[in-house]
């Protein structure tokens, strides 16, 4: 059956056609996003939801999305999607961070120019029949210092355009390397230095708790008198009341804002102040940008639903269309290793280590780590954890997740080892994918053995003494339980031994109790995959 996608906002007809051409069953209802009740009533029928900014994918909507696998946002901001709720439910959330980059950067430059020359006020005055030439004395951009807060994709484009205007550009961005700063022609500085030196300050950073109100009363006090502020990124980066006070005090000469803390901004403390330029979140509002992001999200969602490729996801590592087929059996193996270890872990988990050796180490291992961690946690947390939420869930519980890669080591071209660390012990299980594409476990507790997982299995740890196999076989026969496969391994003669059994049906609890009471049995657990 073809995947089903709902488009609940205005999106380019070309994007709708892309879904259709790729074999997706698409429903286009561009006004549905404003009807929360109707959206909640039908969202359970769809595998994908494509939105712009009107649709609010709230916790309630996501709770009703029983089949949803991906939410695609045609644009960069995902403020209208409850990322935490989507992640907890295993829903990939994608955006298109580059489709409107040039448009947004150009809008920031336009706002800076309008602010420098007081164009909106001069326009209103002139069209009112006044000729107030001496009133609108502007400033040149030439030779001025532009401070860029957030020098990622959009910020670097703004910097490039500003350099073309012969401005000096300084940038604050914790993730900007010295090499990258040199490459794009900016001077990397710390935030206090930027605040003290800049004639114009433009923001291009996401709205995180750390970045919220990055320009606050304290920041305005550090700025030089006459500074001008431009925000085309996110409302909430600037403390609007502190900015209004700084404007009234003459500390800040002007501000140009495309975004506001509360949108739609029907009223705001900044409205009506002189030399404040405001636009209604137009950063991405060009026909080229809207077309670009619509086409990109259609392609990205189709690739994920049809091929398993993940690109520009905000809550999961990327997987290219080329990687997906190669990763699929290894992802399955990682999940099986995790499930195996998780079902045998009864102590509180401190850490999880994943080691990748040989050919698998050359792959994109992030999805494998996510699958392995999800497998470990699922027996403890049931459906509350999945590949998308696994690493976040582990972090929230104080579990340290480590991954290492190395070249081929041992007889297998590629294998992975998963180790669970508790206060009392460390236990490992390893596996590989053979040429037939089927995952196999090849080692348990450093004991070599080879088997495939199955829906009904039994793990028995026993002392390597004569009589165990006979007693176990007789018990299974008396209980009427058919053994499909039986795999044995031991660390040394007479030492620790492991027996892995595949059954045709679940083992009843009374029989489990009898297994545990057999001579030489140290431990016995049911396993389900």
Q: Indicate the SS3 state at residue 336.
A: helix
Using CA atoms, how far apart are residues 211 and 231, in angstroms rounded to an integer? 13
Using CA atoms, how far apart are residues 521 and 272, in angstroms rounded to an integer? 81
Using CA atoms, how far apart are residues 46 and 61, in angstroms rounded to an integer? 12
Beta-bridge mates of residue 457: 502, 527
Residue 204 catalytic?
no
What is the strand order of the sheet 70-73 is part of? 25-28, 4-7, 48-51, 70-73, 92-94
Q: Is the peptide bond before 10 cis (omega within 30 degrees of 0)?
A: no
Please give the DSSP secondary-structure letter assigned to residue 348.
P
Beta-sheet strands, E only, within 327-467? 349-358, 400-406, 414-422, 426-433, 439-444, 447-451, 457-463
Residue 281 catalytic?
yes
Active-site option among 52, 161, 204, 234 = 234
Residue 234 catalytic?
yes
Using CA atoms, how far apart are residues 288 and 415, in angstroms rounded to an integer? 47
Residue 203 CB neighbour total at 10 angstroms: 25
Cβ proximity of 100 and 306 under 8 Å:
no
Active-site option among 73, 161, 228, 281 = 281
Q: What is the CA radius of gyration of the chain?
A: 30
Q: Which residue, 359, 369, 433, is CA-closest to 403?
A: 369
Using CA atoms, how far apart are residues 8 and 115, in angstroms rounded to an integer? 36
Whose structure tokens read 């030489």? 520
Residue 495 CB neighbour total at 10 angstroms: 10
Cα dihedral value 337, 343, 344, 347, nearest 10: 110
Whose structure tokens read 């049931």? 382
Using CA atoms, how far apart are residues 523 and 367, in angstroms rounded to an integer? 32
The full DSSP string for 448-462 is EEEE---SSEEEEEE
Active-site option among 140, 263, 346, 402 = 263
Q: Indicate the SS3 state at residue 486.
A: strand
Using CA atoms, how far apart are residues 441 and 333, in angstroms rounded to an integer? 8
**Looking at the annotation, which residues are catalytic?**
234, 263, 281
């Amino acid at each position: 059956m073809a995947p089903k996608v709902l488009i609940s906002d205005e999106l380019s007809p070309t994007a709708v056609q892309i879904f259709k051409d790729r074999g997706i069953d698409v429903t286009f209802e561009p006004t549905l996003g404003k009807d929360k009740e109707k959206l909640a009533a039908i969202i359970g029928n769809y595998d994908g939801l494509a939105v712009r900014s009107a649709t609010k994918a709230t916790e309630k909507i996501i709770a009703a999305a029983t089949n949803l696998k991906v939410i695609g946002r045609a644009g960069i901001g995902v403020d209208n999607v409850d990322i935490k709720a989507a992640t907890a439910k295993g829903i990939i959330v994608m955006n298109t961070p580059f489709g409107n980059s040039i448009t947004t950067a150009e809008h920031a430059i336009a706002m800076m120019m309008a602010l420098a020359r007081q164009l909106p006020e001069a326009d209103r005055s002139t069209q009112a029949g006044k000729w107030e030439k001496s009133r609108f004395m502007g400033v040149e951009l030439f030779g001025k210092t532009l401070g860029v807060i957030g020098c990622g994709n959009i910020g670097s484009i703004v910097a490039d355009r500003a350099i073309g205007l012969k401005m000096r550009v300084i940038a604050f961005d914790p993730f900007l390397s010295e090499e990258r700063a040199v490459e794009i022609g900016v001077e990397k500085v710390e935030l206090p230095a930027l605040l003290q030196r800049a004639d114009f300050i433009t923001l291009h950073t996401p709205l995180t708790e750390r970045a919220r109100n990055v320009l606050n009363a304290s920041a305005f006090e550090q700025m030089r008198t006459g500074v001008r502020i431009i925000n085309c990124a996110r409302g909430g980066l600037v403390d609007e009341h502190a900015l209004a006070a700084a404007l009234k005090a003459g500390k800040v000469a002007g501000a140009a804002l495309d975004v506001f803390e509360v949108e739609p901004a029907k009223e705001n403390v900044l409205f009506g102040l002189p030399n404040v330029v405001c636009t209604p979140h137009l950063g991405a509002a060009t026909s080229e940008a809207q077309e670009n992001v619509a086409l990109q999200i259609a392609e990205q969602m189709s690739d994920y639903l049809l091929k398993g490729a993940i690109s520009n996801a905000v809550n999961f590592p990327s997987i290219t269309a080329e990687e997906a087929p190669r990763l699929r059996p290894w992802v399955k193996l990682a999940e099986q290793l995790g499930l195996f270890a998780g079902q045998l872990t009864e102590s509180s988990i401190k850490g999880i280590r994943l080691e990748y050796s040989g050919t698998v180490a050359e792959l994109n291992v992030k999805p494998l780590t996510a699958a392995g961690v999800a497998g470990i946690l699922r027996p403890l947390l049931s459906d509350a954890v999945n590949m998308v939420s696994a690493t976040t869930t582990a972090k929230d519980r104080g579990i340290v997740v480590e991954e290492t890669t190395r070249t081929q080591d041992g007889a297998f071209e590629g294998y992975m080892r998963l180790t669970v660390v508790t206060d009392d012990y460390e236990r490992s299980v390893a596996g590989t994918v053979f040429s037939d594409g089927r995952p196999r476990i090849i080692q348990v507790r450093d004991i070599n053995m080879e088997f495939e997982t199955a829906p009904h299995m039994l793990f028995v740890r026993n002392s390597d003494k004569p009589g165990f196999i006979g007693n176990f076989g007789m018990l299974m026969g008396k209980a009427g339980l058919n053994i499909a496969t039986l795999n044995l391994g031991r660390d040394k003669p007479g030492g620790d031994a492991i027996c892995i059994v595949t059954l045709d049906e679940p083992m009843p609890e009374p029989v489990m109790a009898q297994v545990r009471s057999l001579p030489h049995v140290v431990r016995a657990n049911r396993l389900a995959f």
